[in-house]
Amino acid sequence: MDFKEFKRAGHWPTLLSAFLYFDVSFMVWVMLGPLSLYITQDLGLPVGEKFTIVAIPILSGAVFRIVLGSMADHLGPKLTGVLAQLLVILGLTYVFVFGLHSKLEVELLGLLLGIAGASFAVALPQASRWYPPQYQGVVMGIAGAGNMGVVLDSMIVPWLAERFGWQAVFGFLLIPLVLVLVIYAVLVKDAPDKRTPVTLANYAAVMKDPDTWWFMFFYSITFGGFVGLGNALPLYFTSWYHVSGIAAGMMVALVVFAGSMFRPVGGLLADRIGGIRALQVLFVIVSLSYLAISFLPEGPAPQSTSDAKVAGWGLFELPALAWSAVAIFFVGTLALGMGNGSVFQLVPLRFRREIGVITGLVGCAGGVGGFFLAKTLGWSWNMQHGFALGFSVFAGLPLLGLVGLIMVKKRWRTTWGAVSGARV
């Protein structure tokens, strides 16, 4: 790829701003993953209910993605992004000042955090509209790589919660939120192409197209797997391998780093060999990773623990079994992240004019997939005091996705793919 030509082809301040906006928003969206270890401990919730807590922001984000996607088409992406960010900042300020005192309040917080997760439906179309078809994979990959916010969460949130208490974490997170809001408001610029305001009829028309449902299904596997694991793995590692809160955070950071950093690589790969071919390989890797994890037994508990708020094995004391799980998850999330980039190499090629509508729908499906992954792990724990059943179920979904790709690839390549100006 010619980077000088790429730079001239679009508007890099908007691409940078969209990345930063999505990054800090994603960080806030998944903050209940690592923070749930501390909040639910204070509230005395059982493990099964903890997985429900971390699943709520994912589902809320799925619903709000359609709402913000529609607002972006009516009001413009920039105004929509600013308004959404202000609501999130107000919510975090409230919790920082007054705290959380019941399961209901935590659930309501989860609903609010969904607005941050919906930033996807603003940032990606905002960046996409500035660039021609041959750069859609890498552009959507760069903008979507803002999901590396979960890496920052996993590394920093447990450490802050241990030292300052979980309520103070909300105050610390307000700092990057406010800073990025200022940068976004100053640098971002809506693309000059004319927007068509979205109506229910637009959604109905797009949802009548079978390709919409295929993209929603594929993204429920890739992004759903990534965000579901990002939120659920702190609970998984502390419950199954008996690690400390800080160690669990670092383990999750290692895992999701792969998915975050390789999303642009997935988009670039899809630009070169086609999104269909890339997804076929990645779905196989994801399925094998889930299946391998389902066979791993529970790790040993430490004989003595520290006085940490969430105590257990330290990062440098982990048994080999726990590191094996980290390695398998690393490979799996790498494939999931690349799969996210590959799906969104195809989406704007197929639905260029309806990019706002389709991004909201496909993003919603990704959130729903993440919600069910986290909930399924909770159900699996309640049913068998383990996670094998949950991971086995999700090992089958990428294989169904592979079958779907085989069914549609000839039609896609000979119809819209043939005139798209890019590899499909």
Model pLDDT for residues 215-273, shown as the tens digit of each residue: 999 999 999 999 999 999 999 999 999 999 999 999 999 999 888 888 888 888 998 89
Question: For residue 331, which of 293, 396, 294, 286 has the smallest C-alpha distance?
Answer: 286
Which residue blocks in 118-147 are alpha helix, DSSP H?
Answer: 120-128, 136-144
**Tens-place pLDDT, residues 324-345:** 999 999 999 999 999 998 998 8
Burial class (CB within 10 angstroms; exposed 0-12, middle 13-18, buried 19+) of 295: exposed
pLDDT-flagged residues of the chain (< 50): none
Q: In the prediction, which pLDDT does 392 show?
A: 96
Give the separation between CA 230 and CA 396, rounded to whole angstroms: 20
Question: For residue 144, which of 166, 123, 167 has the smallest C-alpha distance?
Answer: 123
- The secondary structure of 306-332 as a DSSP string is -S-SS-SB-GGG--HHHHHHHHHHHHH
Q: In the prediction, which pLDDT does 122 show?
A: 86
Give the separation between CA 302 and CA 223, rounded to whole angstroms: 34
Q: How far is CA 219 from CA 225, 235, 339, in A?
A: 9, 24, 8
Half-sphere CA count of 337, side-chain side, radius 13 A: 29
Is residue 9 within 8 Å of 175, Cβ to Cβ? no
Lookup: tokens for 386:
């383990």
Q: In the prediction, which pLDDT does 196 show?
A: 63
**Which domains, and CATH codes, for the chain?**
9-188+209-418 (1.20.1250.20)
Question: For residue 16, which of 189, 179, 169, 136 has the smallest C-alpha distance?
Answer: 189
Q: In the prediction, which pLDDT does 273 show?
A: 92
